[in-house]
C-alpha cells in the first residue's frame, strides 16, 4: 500500500544499530504506479492445461515431491523506467494438489546486485493484490542489502502481469457508494452493488478464484526459490507479505536462511477479529493525528480540530458530493482518504489541509488521497484472497451484524472498514483456510518487526506472532505509520545486518 515515508532519525536500544545510519526512503508498503512497459512475454489471463510428463505427488506441505521448475530466462524489461529491472516467467500448477493439471504463470522481476552477488533476497509488498513488479521497480531494499544480493519479487497469482483476476464490472460503482450506510435504502444499494461485483468475478474468473489463497502463494514462493537455484530462501515480507512468509515458514522451515516480517498479519486471527482490530487501530491512529494537528495549530494543520472538520466534511458529502475538479467527493471517499493517511507517520499533515479545502468546496485533494488508497492493488485480487483465507460472515444479514459491531468498536471508521469487503458475504469461492497460529519449528531466527502506532497491522499482531514462532525475534519500532524498514533508520540497520551478516538482534529490541 503506497505511502512515502520520511526517513526517521530515532535511535535504537539493544539492537546494535546506530542512530546516525541514513537509510534510503521507500514506500511504506506497496507502490501505486502502473508499469510503463510490460514483460515481453504476455501474461496468461486464464489457467492453462499443460500436463507434466512425470507424475508427481504432494508432500506433507502440499508441495509435490517430484516437481521441478523450468529454468528461468531473464530479460530486460525496464518497468516504471527502472533500467536495471529484469523479468522472467515461471509456470506453476493452478492447484498444487493436482500438479499435472492446469497451470498459471507467475511474472517475476529481478534487480541484480550492485556488487558481487551472494544470492537473492525475495520480497513481497503485501496487499493482497499488490504488484511485486511495481514494488521492485521502486527498489524497496536499501544498499546495505542490494550491494550484495539480487532483489527479486513477483506478481502473485491473481495479480498484475501474472495470471490475473480480471473482473472489474461494478467495482467502481461499489467503491463510490457510502460504505457506512445510515438508511435502509443506502444499505440495500450497497448490498446490491456488492452482489454485482461477486457475480461479475464468478463470471470472469470462476476457475481461478478457489486457488488464490495464501497457502497456494506460499507454495509458489517455494517454486520461485527452487527456480532461483541459490539455496535457502532470504525473504522480506511487508504487510500481507508477512502472512505469505509465515505460511512459507510453516511449510518449509528448513529452506529458510533469513526471514523478515514487517507490518505483521496474525494468521491466528479470524476474518472478523482481524478487521475489528484494524478498525480500532484506524480510530486510534485518527485520534493521534487529531492530537498532533491540534498541537501544531491551524497554520500547519489547516484546521483547528481534525475530528470536527472530518465530521463536517463527511456530513456535507452525505448531503451532496463535493466538487473535486472533474470528479466529486463522496462520503465513502472522505472515509477512505482518512484511512489512507493513517498509513503515514504524519498523516495529519496531509489530511488537515485536504479537509480545509473540502470545507471551502474543493474536494480534489481528498479525492487524490482516496485514490492513493485504491491504487494499493486490484480490488478483485484483494477480495479473492481475503474472502477465502478465513471464513467471512456469509450472507447479507450476518455481514450487516458484523458491520454493526465494527461501528460499535470504531464509530468513525468501523462501518467503512467492514463494508469495504462486503463482497465477501456473497463471494462465489468457498473459504479454503481457517485461522491458525504458526510455530515453524526448525526455522532459523525470524525477525518480526512491528510499529507501535501501525493501524493497518496493529502492533499486538507482531507481539503475538513473535511469541508463537519457535524462533521469532521481536523488533519494536516506536513510531506510527505502516511498516518500518526504510522509514526507520534503526530498523533498517538491524534488518540489513541480519540479512547480509546473519547478525540476530536480541529479542525485544526497541527502536526509538
- Residue keyed to cell 502502473: 34
Q: State residue 376's pLDDT score.
A: 63
Write the CATH number of the domain with boundaries 12-162+213-268+436-511. Answer: 3.40.50.1820
Nearest Cα residue to 429 out of 180, 128, 209, 224? 209
- How many angstroms separate the first and last alpha carbons of the chain? 24
Q: Which residues contact 443 (CB under 8 A, 6 or more apart)?
A: 249, 253, 254, 256, 259, 469, 470, 471
In the chain, where are the structural domains located? 12-162+213-268+436-511, 166-207+269-435
Q: State residue 59's pLDDT score.
A: 59
Q: State residue 79's pLDDT score.
A: 80
Q: State residue 6's pLDDT score.
A: 27
User: What is the mean pLDDT of each successive set of 10 residues along the chain, which is 512 residues long?
Assistant: 29 35 28 31 40 44 94 91 94 97 98 97 96 96 98 97 95 92 96 98 97 97 98 98 98 98 97 96 95 97 98 96 95 94 92 98 97 82 96 98 98 96 98 94 98 95 98 97 96 98 98 96
Q: State residue 455's pLDDT score.
A: 93
For residues 39 and 54, give the distance between their C-alpha atoms in angstroms, rounded to a whole number: 30
Contact 438, 247 (CB under 8 A): yes
Omega before 252 within 30 of 0, i.e. cis: no
User: b/e map of 294-324 (b: 16 or more CB within 10 Å)?
Assistant: beeeeeebbbebbbebbeebbebbeeebbeb
Q: State residue 27's pLDDT score.
A: 27
Q: State residue 382's pLDDT score.
A: 95
Quote the cell numbers at residue 45. Answer: 489471463
Q: State residue 377's pLDDT score.
A: 67
Q: Which residues contact 223 (CB under 8 A, 6 or more apart)?
A: 67, 69, 90, 92, 106
Amino acid at each position: 500500500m503506497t505511502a512515502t515515508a520520511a526517513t526517521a532519525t530515532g535511535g535504537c536500544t539493544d539492537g546494535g544499530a546506530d542512530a546516525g545510519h541514513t537509510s534510503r526512503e521507500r514506500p511504506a508498503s506497496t507502490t501505486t504506479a502502473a508499469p510503463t512497459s510490460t514483460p515481453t512475454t504476455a501474461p496468461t489471463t486464464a489457467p492453462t492445461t499443460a500436463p507434466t510428463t512425470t507424475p508427481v505427488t504432494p508432500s506433507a506441505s502440499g508441495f509435490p515431491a517430484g516437481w521441478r521448475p523450468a529454468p528461468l530466462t531473464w530479460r530486460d524489461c525496464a518497468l516504471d523506467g527502472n533500467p536495471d529491472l529484469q523479468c522472467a516467467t515461471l509456470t506453476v500448477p493452478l492447484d498444487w494438489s493436482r500438479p499435472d493439471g492446469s497451470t498459471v504463470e507467475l511474472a517475476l522481476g529481478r534487480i541484480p546486485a550492485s556488487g558481487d552477488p551472494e544470492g537473492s533476497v525475495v520480497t513481497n509488498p503485501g496487499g493482497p493484490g499488490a504488484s511485486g513488479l511495481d514494488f521492485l521497480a521502486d527498489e524497496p531494499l536499501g544498499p546495505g542489502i542490494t550491494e550484495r544480493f539480487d532483489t527479486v519479487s513477483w506478481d502473485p497469482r491473481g495479480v498484475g502481469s501474472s495470471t490475473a483476476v480480471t473482473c472489474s464490472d461494478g467495482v467502481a460503482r461499489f467503491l463510490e457508494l457510502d460504505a457506512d450506510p445510515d438508511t435502509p435504502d443506502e444499505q440495500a444499494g450497497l448490498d446490491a452493488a456488492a452482489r454485482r461485483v461477486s457475480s461479475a468475478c464468478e463470471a470472469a474468473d470462476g476457475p481461478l478464484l478457489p486457488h488464490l489463497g495464501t497457502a497456494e502463494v506460499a507454495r509458489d514462493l517455494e517454486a520461485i526459490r527452487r527456480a532461483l537455484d541459490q539455496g535457502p530462501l532470504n525473504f522480506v515480507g511487508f504487510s500481507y507479505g508477512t502472512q505469505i512468509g509465515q505460511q512459507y515458514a510453516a511449510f518449509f522451515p528448513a529452506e529458510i536462511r533469513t526471514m523478515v516480517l514487517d507490518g505483521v498479519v496474525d494468521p491466528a486471527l479470524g476474518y472478523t477479529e482481524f478487521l475489528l482490530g484494524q478498525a480500532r487501530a484506524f480510530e486510534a491512529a485518527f485520534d493521534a493525528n487529531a492530537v498532533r494537528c491540534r498541537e501544531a495549530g491551524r497554520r500547519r494543520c489547516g484546521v483547528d480540530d481534525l475530528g470536527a472538520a472530518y465530521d463536517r466534511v463527511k456530513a456535507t458529502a452525505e448531503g451532496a458530493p463535493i466538487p473535486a475538479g472533474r470528479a466529486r467527493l463522496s462520503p465513502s471517499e472522505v472515509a477512505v482518504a482518512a484511512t489512507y493517511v493513517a498509513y503515514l507517520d504524519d498523516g495529519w499533515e496531509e489530511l488537515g489541509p485536504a479537509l480545509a479545502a473540502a470545507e471551502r468546496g474543493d474536494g480534489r485533494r481528498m479525492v487524490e488521497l482516496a485514490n492513493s488508497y485504491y491504487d494499493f492493488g486490484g480490488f478483485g485480487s484483494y477480495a479473492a484472497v481475503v474472502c477465502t483465507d478465513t471464513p467471512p460472515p456469509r450472507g447479507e444479514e450476518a455481514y450487516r451484524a458484523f458491520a454493526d459491531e465494527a461501528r460499535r468498536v470504531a464509530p468513525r471508521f468501523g462501518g467503512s472498514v467492514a463494508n469495504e469487503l462486503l463482497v465477501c458475504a456473497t463471494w462465489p469461492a468457498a473459504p479454503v483456510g481457517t485461522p491458525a497460529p504458526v510455530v515453524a519449528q526448525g526455522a532459523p531466527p525470524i525477525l518480526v518487526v512491528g510499529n507501535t502506532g501501525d493501524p493497518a497491522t496493529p502492533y499486538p499482531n507482531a507481539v503475538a506472532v513473535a511469541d508463537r514462532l519457535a524462533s521469532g525475534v521481536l523488533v519494536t519500532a516506536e513510531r506510527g505509520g505502516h511498516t518500518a524498514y526504510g522509514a526507520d533508520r534503526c530498523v533498517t540497520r538491524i534488518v540489513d545486518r541480519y540479512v547480509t551478516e546473519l547478525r540476530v538482534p536480541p529479542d525485544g529490541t526497541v527502536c526509538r
